[in-house]
Amino acid sequence: MEKQTRREFLKTIGLAAASSPALSILPGCVSAGQTGRAEPKRPNIVVIISDDMGYADIGCHGCKDIATPNIDSVARNGIRFTNGYVSCPVCSPTRAGLITGRYQQRFGHEFNTGPPPGGLREHVGLPLTEVTIADVLKSAGYVTCAVGKWHLGLSKHFHPFRRGFDEFFGFLHGNHSFIESGLGTFNPILRGTEPVDEKEYLTDAFSREAVSFVERHHDERFFLYLAYNAVHTPMQAPQRYKDSFKHITDRKRRIYAGMLTSMDEGIGKLLGKLRELGLEEDTLLFFINDNGGPTSANGSLNDPLRATKGTMYEGGVRVPFMVQWPGRLKAGLVYDHPVISLDILPTAAAAGGAEVPGDRNLDGVNLLPYLTGKKKKSPHEILFWRSGQNHALRKGNWKLVKMGSETGLFDLASDIGESKDLKAEKPDVLKDMQDTYERWNSQMVDPVWTIQRRQRKTTKKKKKN
């Protein structure tokens, strides 16, 4: 895939809980059931990430004006998480958490990496002390590939080749034009480490490369990390959709619809290739969005959730999240206990027979025993978020949110929209939540970098763990 291999690159730089049952069947869906294999073969593993998509913008979440049949098919053929979260309401920290299985506050990756000159500082990126999902799976014999948006460091030592990936096609910064290749800029499209003059609409190019990787490695165990930058700004849809969404009156959302449709069609091509090659049954595939939709910026919708990307409300951290593995997981299920993007690494490692280094303090959990019904309790008793002065935690159905000087306490079981602040009515719950947060916070470290460092006033730096 790349002109310069990972080995060559390394040589050049001198290194060789809800009230309903946790699992329920979607109406009208047929259960695939178990295949009867006592020891299923190790699956291929695919992680698909969309960028800045709204919670309400896919069909299985009730979207009516934009069709997403291929994303919806993952939920139909697998399990949809109704309480699916990411570990941060913005792009780069979420990816740092997902790719390590750890709260990114454990290693100081609390804010987005930025453009040059600050973004090229040697410490601005996923710390080299961290072990990634690609490292873990590669050690178990998987061939690994990253396609799309990286956003985990611009400097050479943060390149995907240094983080366990054998192949890379994409860009290193946090956003990119969909129609210009970026040649001659700090953020070109790269094949491996070489800039390329990509002519195709970028979402289509990423889908093309993902399909190509699967075709070339279909007889090996592979891990594909497909991180679309759709539907992040800039708002640029393929020309082929210019007349397809006349029923949408808002111009920005019409463009958004074309961008989302391109991504959905690309996911369909990847799913189709897996079926064509007879790999679908033995492929564990996750789909997740990186944070809530930034509604006013790109025309996304987060209904019925409160607020948007960048906030600690549900509209910032609760996201579309689903998984399929037809050879192992039942189809058409809905899972209601809270899960988080941190769970992807330990779940993939368990499925792939890969060992996580013993010194890793993972915050994610292996979801497989929960999704197969072997474990009935919630995978997580508590979930935490922190970004600058803002923080939140969910404990059961209680949610504590601190945004700036405002603090709110909400019961998500009856108020998913976080419209009724109960802190005055439930002072004991409020204190317990605040104390719980402070205990967790005391174990985290300060941000390694940020132009927003002045916001961090209360965090005491502790030893890394």
Active site residues: 91, 151
Distance (Å, whole) CA 66 – CA 367: 31
Distance (Å, whole) CA 311 – CA 309: 6
Q: Decide: residue 417, CB within 10 A, 0-12 exposed, 13-18 middle, 19+ buried.
A: middle
Distance (Å, whole) CA 121 – CA 257: 37
Reported as half-sphere exposure (CB side, CA atoms, 13 A), residue 268 has a value of 11
Q: Are 145 and 1 in contact (CB under 8 A)?
A: yes
Distance (Å, whole) CA 285 – CA 328: 12
Using alpha carbons only, what angle is made at residue 83 by residues 100 and 352, rounded to the nearest 5 degrees? 40
Residues 6+ apart with CB under 8 A from 276: none
Say if residue 231 is preceded by a cis peptide, omega within 30 of 0.
Answer: yes
Say if residue 304 is preceded by a cis peptide, omega within 30 of 0.
Answer: yes
Q: Are 164 and 132 in contact (CB under 8 A)?
A: yes
Distance (Å, whole) CA 254 – CA 325: 33
Task: Kindly report the backbone phi and psi dihedral angles of residue 120, in degrees, each rounded to the nearest multiple of 5, phi listed first.
Answer: -95, 0
DSSP string covering 241-305, please?
GTTS-TT---HHHHHHHHHHHHHHHHHHHHHHHHHHTT-GGGEEEEEEESS---TTTT----TTS
With residues binned 3-state (H G I as helix, E B as strand, rest as coil), the percentages for the chain, rounded to 5, are 30, 15, 55
Distance (Å, whole) CA 185 – CA 201: 18
**Chain center to CA of 4:** 28
